[in-house]
Structure 1
């Protein structure tokens, strides 16, 4: 077992939304398999790993940075490994010798101690009440997408205003996140999808939405659009994935969970467990300069057997490494073996 310590004064109902994800499983939901992998110690000195209990931005929002840094420094002085969690689309860097867990950011700016968390989703096959099966290879690649994509000036203006507002809040210290350059994701998405649509060597199955989640307002509409979304992934061997507000894609993980092949545009992202998972065996990562060629070349070169095997492997990858229980089980083994 990996011995961990955290300040349990933070384990209370009002912190459920910002607690370190592993602590949510251990202390709130009492996940039995993970309780066999991790032992929560009463004293910092007894632990292998010291966990900052909540999202680090909480300490800055509440002007409790001194407590945070004292806590980290005490653990480091005891030669403990320190895990911190930074939530949200952007994340927040604090410049300490810690292991940082976050959803997104830029690989070129990360050190080796930055760990990407998968988006912890439930099994999509629950939503569509079906079971996984691989799709046979067809002569031309077939790629799907359902989601927010637009080329309107009003959409570009809205995204620019949101970007400026976010950075103003960062500047006046109302928000605590890392800076990232302007990236109008819905505009970029429309541009790339249009290129794929216009190529006569590619079959496309795209549904464009003008708003996030199609702007649904009722439970009935939400259920229908969710079903449309997952059905599109189910019937297409490839799914187009591009970052959103943060430099990551939830759709990427949903595609893997359904045993399909993500076709993802490289935006200087880092993927989870990149030292353990050989990501080139599970997805197509294309430059924004050659997206059509990347898809066509991949499809032409892969055999029918390997095409179906890749889908099976992607489903198994999500089951064995990327859902929350599997991810933290792998993390326990990794730290016991590599970082002990």
Structure 2
């Protein structure tokens, strides 16, 4: 049965369209030069098989067709969408609202809203707010001929990371000095009181802990600039094309048993989902985090789960997990993680399950 949605496409000129509408308005991210080109192709072709746009009277839920803007001028944005919001509220319908992945907890004064925001803190998660995955091209299809290359279990676990973790591998200058200050403040427990300023300091702290260990094999490629910053995706001091960097980024995951997944600017990790896509095991540092479908999927049993307070013992956690998993279970877990990504975390997998959130909200309301 199709999920019936009502929206107002005239609002598309008021902001950035949500990806959920791609089957109906076309793939607005079709730039062939983008390293993420193709990530919505399957959803574009198959989305109408399980989604339908209909009237407000017949719909299962309404959809705000653009991301909820809290960056430029939230009050101006709310005024621009007020007519649609009032229409939905008069009809007594639920409304799906998407915000950006790195947006902190915000107040969205909309009745019956079901909100998707990946940067929320678990301790502050409202009952109507849910995390949602980052979407990207299928790494195995694009970079590995569609093949899930299973790794056998070795005596020592190989832990990978390719990315930006200041102040590590940063030339002396303002960026390095700021990175050092944040890292020191992180160690001192000061930065934890200001989670919006933690940035990449936990990455550096985790990598330092892993580099010190003799019980793991590190597979680190530390970048000298932010991946999506003005300098593109060059790694270290070697200039690379975006395509070359992406290829080596994926190779780093595939050629490791485990991949370090720690928050960056926002309290979420794109790398967590990229690791699952490759059928590899995340080493996930829990910084009061939320993960999609955490009431359906026991994430702690599927990855090396490291609490924030235990980050300096991260190598011990990896070794304990690795020593306690059998050769068969190690291989089976790789297969299972890839399956979870396909079933729940691709655009089709996630958007097919929107009814889960709508029905859950109905259950909450009926029990209130």
Counterpart of 2:143 (choices 128, 131, 134) is 128
Q: Structure 1 residues 69 and 293 mapped into 2: Cα distance closer, same or farther (>3 Å)?
A: farther
Measured in 2, the distance between the counterparts of 1:135 and 1:217 equals 28
Matched, 1:200 2:214: yes
Q: Structure 1 residues 88 and 299 mapped into 2: Cα distance closer, same or farther (>3 Å)?
A: closer
Aligned to 1:171: none
Counterpart of 2:159 (choices 129, 143, 146) is 143
Q: CA deviation at 1:115?
A: 1.7
Aligned to 1:170: none
Query: Residue 3 of structure 1 contacts residue 46 of structure 1 at CA under 8 Å; is this kept in 2?
Result: yes
Counterpart of 1:301 (choices 317, 324, 335) is 324
Measured in 2, the distance between the counterparts of 1:217 and 1:119 equals 18
Q: Which runs of 5+ in 2 are unaligned?
A: 28-42, 183-193, 364-368
Bigger RCO (CA 8 Å, 6+ sep):
1
Matched, 1:154 2:174: yes
Q: Which runs of 5+ in 1 are unaligned?
A: 163-178
| Superposed counterparts of 1:1-340, under 5 Å | 1-11=2-12, 18-29=16-27, 31-41=44-54, 43-57=55-69, 60-61=73-74, 63-91=76-104, 92-97=106-111, 98-130=113-145, 131-151=147-167, 154-155=174-175, 157-158=177-178, 180-185=195-200, 187-213=201-227, 215-216=231-232, 221-288=241-308, 289=310, 290-332=313-355, 335=358, 339=362
Query: Residue 37 of structure 1 contacts residue 332 of structure 1 at CA under 8 Å; is this kept in 2?
Result: no
Aligned to 2:38: none
Residue correspondences, number: 319
Measured in 2, the distance between the counterparts of 1:57 and 1:74 equals 19
Per-residue CA deviations over 1:65-119 (Å, capped at 9, x if unaligned) read: 2353453344234221111111252254314341101232212111122121211
Measured in 2, the distance between the counterparts of 1:78 and 1:226 equals 46
Query: Residue 146 of structure 1 contacts residue 208 of structure 1 at CA under 8 Å; is this kept in 2?
Result: yes
